[in-house]
Amino acid sequence: MEIRVEENPAAVVADMLVEAAERGSHIVLTGGSTPKLAYELAAGKGANWSGSTVWFSDERCVPPESGLSNFRMATDALLGRIMRDQRPAVMRMQGELGPDAGAAAYEADVREQLGGSPRWDLVLLGLGPDAHCASLFPGKPEVEERQRLVTGVELAGMEPQVPRISLTLPAINGARKVVFLITGKDKAKAVARAFGDAPDPVSPAARVRLSAGELVILLDEAAAGGLK
């Protein structure tokens, strides 16, 4: 695991995204508010994404046009800003199907395209103040999932309190590269809990430990404040 403290971590992520896109990678985008800036910066680079495929780490069970949808955020900030003939293939999670059917549909998509042991080239994740990642919340049964690659989450552990669809830890941990993008003082405690000297195993992010890949924790100074 590499912990990097950067002045502008979103810019670093934008470069990683563009580089992966131009290599024709399978890329997993995440939701929440933090990555929006990185997506906008990536969009501004005018890269050709046409050989790549974009997936999602998690989705809220709302229609894709909802202001709560992670797909909508990624579309507004990035995917919709790429020149039409240079857009990636987009594999969105269908939140409107609900958590169980939505997870089953995405699991089928992943298995069809990437097999039962997917190895995404780049998975971007955020961290919640409770140290959740994707839609895997501390203490919830979905964190313990061992077989499935995608799970429905009936009860979200945080706002917005809508059911979710989420990649599972086995799916995430098979990736070639996972990058956490975490900024702000309100995340400092969670960062220490997940990535400090004595990681708390209850924290889902502390259990993102790749079987054979590179794990990068990208922080700004404020988010790194709780680390020694």
Residue 42 Cβ, how far from ligand 6PG at the closest point, in Å?
16
Nearer to ligand 6PG, 18 or 38 (CB): 38
Contact stretch for ligand 6PG (CB under 6 A) within 15-23, 132-140, 141-149, 213-221: 132-140
- Residue choice 134, 153, 194, 219 for contact with ligand 6PG (CB under 6 A): 134
The residue within the footprint of ligand 6PG, chosen from 52, 57, 69, 151 (CB under 6 A), is 57
Report the distance separating Cα 2 and Cα 194, nearest Å.
13
Residue 24 binds ligand 6PG (CB under 6 A): no
Q: How far apart are alpha carbons 148 and 146 in whole angstroms?
A: 6
d(CA 224, CA 185): 8
- Asked if 59 and 98 count as a contact pair (C-beta separation under 8 A), the reply is no
Q: Is 99 in the site for ligand 6PG (CB under 6 A)?
A: no
Query: Is 70 among the residues that bind ligand 6PG (CB under 6 A)?
Result: yes
Shortest Cβ distance from residue 188 to ligand 6PG (Å)? Answer: 13
Q: Least distance to ligand 6PG from the beta carbon of 20, Å? A: 18
Distances (CA, A) of 209 to 11, 21, 85, 100: 24, 24, 36, 26
**How far apart are the C-alpha atoms of 6 and 149, rounded to whole Å?**
32
Question: Is there binding between residue 34 and ligand 6PG (CB under 6 A)?
Answer: yes
Q: Describe the crossing of helices 70-77 and 35-43 by its angle, rounded to 10 degrees.
A: 40
Cβ of residue 177: shortest distance to ligand 6PG, in angstroms? 17
**Rounded distance between C-alpha atoms, residue 159 and residue 88, angstroms:** 30
Amino acid at 114: L
Contacts with ligand 6PG by CB under 6 A lie at: 30-34, 57-58, 60, 70, 126-128, 132-135
